[in-house]
Structure 1
């Protein structure tokens, strides 16, 4: 019986790819994805007369054109800035790039930023990684219309680290980031300064992005729904907004500040000659001690602080940073479809160059790598408010749904477990929630009748402890569940038993995804706004072990994070503080196409 069940499931997975493409092309599909719930419009924040900034600058969102490829200039959207008060090194432009200026701040500074919307569409800017009040975080409800000004005022509370600033308007984040609105923001502090790490010309930002161009050098983005289902991928790798990027270095140590600024692409970074990568920091700043890795995984929104020592290398030699071969981050279905979903792209998980370091000068002196970098204030599980019941972040995917905790994004849709007391530390678990409990049992988010997910095989019957559901009818509607194909398949998962009937039925369960959701399961970089968190543990199912083996040595758990890559079949436990500020703080997939499709939720800190 078991072998028959497995054979039937394999046959369905193999045969359903083309059906999904056809399904995604249905007229109602695009409407379903673009008809999401609206967002309230608040009056833009104004400057407070009682706030005395140490640093103030104007930040403009505007259209422009830059030379990226040979020939015609490319139309982009970009940040520009004008310093009004503060040290001159606060803003540094990247010559010839569409990327926003590098912003450098000091811990403890009071900062005012005047955001001017000079676009023809609404926008707002999020300070990804910064610990700021909710009304200064760039939540989509603070989006401003063309011609409006939004004033941010906050004190820099972060430890030293590399952060990001980018747009966060509802359902338009990916498009605006893709067209150029992004930049790096560095925080510095006394702890970092005492290390005397490479600085100035020896500290190099590396912002990695992929883009797709037409014959007139104009950016192509999300031509159809197929381009969004697994995220949008380009066939050109740009670094700091430039193709075929090269840095000229001396034979000494450098500090490379690396950011994955792509909307969806995941990289497995490694030197072409097998030289290990020495990591000294991640999203939330410096590690306590350096870590040496054969390669490092880098998902959208993640950052790396790399000690790159070119000492002993001959003048004229070069070293190439590549993205190395790996597997498992895209749905199995996508591989079977032979690239139909993303024509003309550079295959995800293939081997290709990112940038080249060319040694142009031989020197004898070089700084030494510190053995101790920083001190991190770790929180034990016993210090959390919920050591025996982690807050769930359940991921589920389908051709018409990208969900967290069984629900698409909707403003003012806070669930009980998404209400968190301020000044508490929370244990959380991120997992793939396909079929009743997604393997999470009683700790999972409750399945809801009102918000079943829309996905193939959505009418499957799922067991989640004492919760039961059933799928029924052909193109019929179950009990307020999710749209689905092949809903009548039976599926047993551990001690969960389920059954249903009919095809193209509507059914319930956690996200209404069932077997199709499991077939579409893919890696998701999950970003939590506000304070950085620590990773407690990672575990992966036996079914995903082979793919996981191609990436597992590239994860770093010894630093503070605000974005974590969760592989198919993986559970990641984290500890996150919610201190100082009340209000709405988002959590979402940083595959930005998925964020715009609804894989986003709010925590309400009370």
Structure 2
């Protein structure tokens, strides 16, 4: 069993400046949780904050009542103990709060952590896998300080939400890491609330993309940058040479914006994210395998229904989020095609709870390598259309919904979210229950 205590804290990010923060089991961020496919997970979540919050298991396939969305609120002083059996492939997932209307501020204050899943197929591959040595979790956030406080205001014309002027990795400003292996695996998580990153290295070197949001690819893909919007993850493997230093950077983003939109929404910003410093002598690493895992997403040919989702600021399909309204009812065991269109002149992305989908098309074309693996969050530039294939494996619960929403968290808080329930074949949606306090110690 895991224990997670949400609590206020204080952190000295800069010498002599103490910042008020929130964290899990500490002052800022939370511990990395790890479980293997087939294991039963139980988490005791205690809310030591002065306001209600939740813990959502982003990317996890689990019963809706255990999902930690806005229907599973945990009041101050209360405890919530979800449990489920891990039934999905090895992947880099994460956890964060999901209170309706307040997710952005709760995440920005420091409530986030990694949740890594393992399985036999992934463990048998000759990939870097020693946690904290050649397999490094990187929680990337942008921040801005006003004196010793976290800034929170949006800049003028910043349609995406809050944008910081500095980045942190695992809660550290200007971080570096000494590594001692030829191959290093970086598990990249964009835990920012609005900023989009284009990750690459300062010398332009290629790296191998081995995994996306929901797990490993069929085979490694050689890239020199990978773009991640809020909530997205990527697993990459980079080759190091003895004694060298190289910087993981975020370069200009291709967000499909005009000149001013690009400038005011962070597209022109560049950051040094993490310096890797190689030891003078490196341990030899096995060669990356040419094949990784069998395809893990549903097939579009199996779809029995198609749905359309229109994105605009504060709304999906013309409606803002309402807690007691079910927007879609899906049958357990069915496969569907969801077509998502960004109607706005600003960036959005689209996150679906409980499922890992396949990206079938982007603007009518086959997606590139960075979208070829299992995904739960996908970026949409203005006027983009993506076609997704999703399989809903349940369990059925007609009264407890899962969410779909924009993961630019200010957009989500404005109401850019909807709900779906999974029912038995031929079943009908029930009535979502009003959130209530979880207690019981």
Aligned length: 418
Q: 1:178 aligns with which of 93, 96, 108?
A: 108
Instruction: Write out aligned runs for 1:420-431 (5 A).
Output: 420-431=330-341
Q: Quick one: distance in 2 between partners of 1:120 and 1:538?
A: 43
CA distance in 2 between partners of 1:378 and 1:589 (Å): 21
| Aligned pair partner of 1:407 in 316, 319, 323 | 319
> Cα distance, 1:227 vs. partner?
7.9
Aligned pairs for 1:304-315 within 5 A: 304-310=234-240, 313-315=241-243
List aligned pairs for 1:22-37, cutoff 5 A.
none
Question: What does residue 111 of structure 1 align with?
Answer: 41
Paired residue for 1:59?
A: 4
Per-residue CA deviations over 1:387-439 (Å, capped at 9, x if unaligned) read xxx21111113xxxx21111111112224xx1212221111101023xxxxxx
3-state SS of 1:363 partner? strand
Structure 1 position 323 matched with structure 2 position 250: yes
CA offset digits 1:524-567 (Å, max 9, x no partner): 121000110001011179xxxxxxxxxx9976122000000111
Q: Which of 403, 407, 415 in structure 2 is aligned with 1:590?
A: 407
1:562 pairs with 2:386: no
Partner residue in 1 for 2:428? none
Structure 1 residues 209, 554: CA separation in 2 closer, same or farther (over 3 Å shift)?
farther
Residue 364 to residue 159, structure 1, CA distance change in 2 (3 Å):
closer
Alignment partners' CA distance in 2, 1:222 and 1:199: 39
Contact 2:62/2:354 (<8 A) preserved? yes
Give the whole-Å Cα distance in 1 for the aligned partners of 2:101 and 2:369: 30
**CA–CA distance in structure 1, aligned partners of residues 297 and 126 of structure 2:** 25
1:580 matched to 2:394: yes
1:57/1:363 CA distance change after superposition, 3 Å: closer
Give the match's secondary structure for 1:426. strand
Deviation at 1:381, TM superposition (A): 2.1
1:259 alignment partner in structure 2: 189
- 1:140 equivalent in structure 2: 70
Structure 1 counterpart of 2:417: 600
Q: TM-score, normalised by structure 2?
A: 0.90
Q: Is the 8 A contact 2:192 2:230 kept in 1?
A: yes
Selected match of 2:19 from 74, 77, 80: 74
Give ranges in structure 2 of 5+ residues lacking alignment.
424-441
Point out where structure 1 has 5 or more consecutive residues left out of the alignment.
1-55, 82-96, 434-517, 542-551
Q: What SS does structure 1 have at the residue aligned with 2:8? A: strand
Q: TM-score, normalised by structure 1?
A: 0.66
Of 68, 74, 87 in structure 2, the residue corresponding to residue 157 of structure 1 is: 87
| Corresponding residue number in structure 1 for 2:434 | none
| Deviation (angstroms), 1:223 | 6.3
Q: CA deviation at 1:251?
A: 5.1
8 Å CA contact retained: 1:230, 1:330: no
Please identify which structure carries the higher strand content. 2
Task: State the distance in 1 between where 2:168 and 2:367 align.
Answer: 25
Structure 2 contact 154–162 (Cα < 8 Å) conserved = no
Distance 1:540 1:231, change over 3 A: farther
Name the residue aligned to 2:145. 213
Report which of the two structures shows the higher radius of gyration computed on alpha carbons: 1
User: What residue in structure 1 maps to residue 385 of structure 2?
Assistant: 571
Instruction: Quote the Cα distance in structure 2 between the aligned partners of 1:351 and 1:540.
Output: 30
Give the match for residue 482 of structure 1.
none
Larger mean CA deviation between 242-251 and 101-110 belongs to 242-251
Relative contact order, higher structure (CA 8 A, sep 6+): 2
Tell me which protein shows more helix as a share of its residues.
1
State the alpha-carbon separation in 1 of the partners of residues 120 and 378 from structure 2: 27
Matched, 1:394 2:310: yes
